[in-house]
Structure 1
Amino acid sequence: MNHAFPCGTLCLDFVGTLRARRNAMPLEKLATPGLLDDWFVESGMMDLEPGASEADVMVAVQLREAVYDLVVARLDGRPLPPEAVAEVNMHASGLPVTVRLGPDGVVSTGPVAQGLASLAREAVQLLGGDDAALLRECARPECTQVYLDRSRGHRREWCAMRTCGNRVKAANYRARQHAEQA
């Protein structure tokens, strides 16, 4: 599996395909058409690879960054950037992933453009609805994942406990041990 899905919604998991944004060398998880295809299948959005091209990767990254700009504006309490709104709305107006009933149940397919339209629609619903108040950025300084905090009391700190949460807790433990030995 090439991708992780800790954020609570696919559009935020999609935003998280650029890891460690503030680092000098962020990790691009959509660097090739194959990785984009993998994301759609691994996310469960599509049952078959959409057959991404290099041009599709560029369009997907452009949409991802527009959604990220909107998320950051919501987190910071700033007005939504008009260019990002236009980009997301343009994609949201497209046809969503095709859903068909097959002999074994539901089959979801389509080209990359339909996957991006579905993601953009989800972003519109999230950013324009009540769930926008649940947006949080991971508290681990190196991580820039944004997630929905649906925890009781809304005190979740990390995108995922098994990764970032464990790293922060282990680092704090080591720091305490080091301080006691000094």
Structure 2
Amino acid sequence: MGNDEPSAELRDGFHFRGGHPALDLVATRTGRLKPVQRELLAEPGDLARWLVAAGFTGSPLAATSEDLERARALREAIHAIVDARLAGGADAPADIAQVNATAAGAPAVPQIGADGRARLQGGVSALLATLAGEAALLLGGDQAMRIRRCEADGCAMLFLDTSRSGERRWCSMKRCGNKAKVAEFRKRKQGSA
């Protein structure tokens, strides 16, 4: 499966291992556990590319600096809510207000295209409102209890645990899970030598 496939974990330089678009948006800021983080939404064009890679639109839309700031504010509010909950804390009212305010905008309208596939119609603001609405449904719904942080050393990726047992530990078996299993195997092998 190529990186341009909708289910691929890396598309156009963005990580999609969260299992939900709101968690994938959080992944547009990398290195959260490191002294220096990397901003993948550095300019409006990056937001336009992310919206395509995330499947919200088929072709890049003209994103503005204001759109970029709204997307970043939404991202950080989602991250702060999940981070507080994972630490056993309460939601900050300002973060909830940010998600709600973004979700209150006019959402994108789903339409069936000539190819028979559903597409969202609307500008960047409408797509962000739709994304914020999905975040509100995730964070305010039953699935919120299934949001996890990857247990791999150095990985801060958030993901939705949809496993039957609810005991998934890594954002991706291909990436972090495989590294952990290889490290555990080497550790066992050294212990038996």
1:27 aligns with 2:14: no
Q: 1:78 deviation in Å?
A: 1.8
Q: Percent identity?
A: 39
Which stretch of the first structure deviates more once superposed, 97-106 or 10-19?
97-106
* More RCO (CA 8 Å, sep 6+): 1
1:54 aligns with 2:65: yes
Q: 1:178 deviation in Å?
A: 5.2
Matched position secondary structure for 2:165? coil
1:70 aligns with 2:70: no
Q: Which runs of 5+ in 2 are unaligned?
A: 1-11
Q: Which amino acid aligns with 1:77?
A: G
Task: Using structure 1 for the length normalisation, give the TM-score.
Answer: 0.90
* Equivalent position of 1:122 in the other structure: 134
Matched position secondary structure for 2:120? strand
Q: Which consecutive segments of 4 or more residues in structure 1 shift more than 6 A?
A: none
Q: 1:176 deviation in Å?
A: 4.4
Distance 1:168 1:102 in 2: 43
Contact 2:56-2:119 within 8 A present in 1 as well = no
Q: Which amino acid aligns with 1:60?
A: A
Q: 1:98 deviation in Å?
A: 2.7
Matched position secondary structure for 1:71? helix
Distance 2:113 2:162 in 1: 34
Q: 1:132 deviation in Å?
A: 0.9
Contact 2:161-2:167 within 8 A present in 1 as well = yes
* Equivalent position of 2:144 in the other structure: 132
- What whole-Å deviation, never above 9, does each CA across 1:59-111 have from its counterpart, x for those lacking one? 21111001111111222232210110111110010111232233223332322
Q: 1:144 deviation in Å?
A: 0.9
Q: Which runs of 5+ in 1 are unaligned?
A: none
Which stretch of the first structure deviates more once superposed, 164-173 or 125-134?
164-173
Matched position secondary structure for 1:95? coil
* Equivalent position of 2:92 in the other structure: 81
CA shift in 2, pair 1:56/1:133, >3 Å: same
Q: Which amino acid aligns with 2:149?
A: E
Number of equivalences: 181
Distance 1:20 1:167 in 2: 18
* Equivalent position of 2:162 in the other structure: 150
- What whole-Å deviation, never above 9, does each CA across 1:136-181 have from its counterpart, x for those lacking one? 1100131111111111211110001101112222333344455566
* Equivalent position of 1:5 in the other structure: 16
Distance 2:151 2:30 in 1: 14
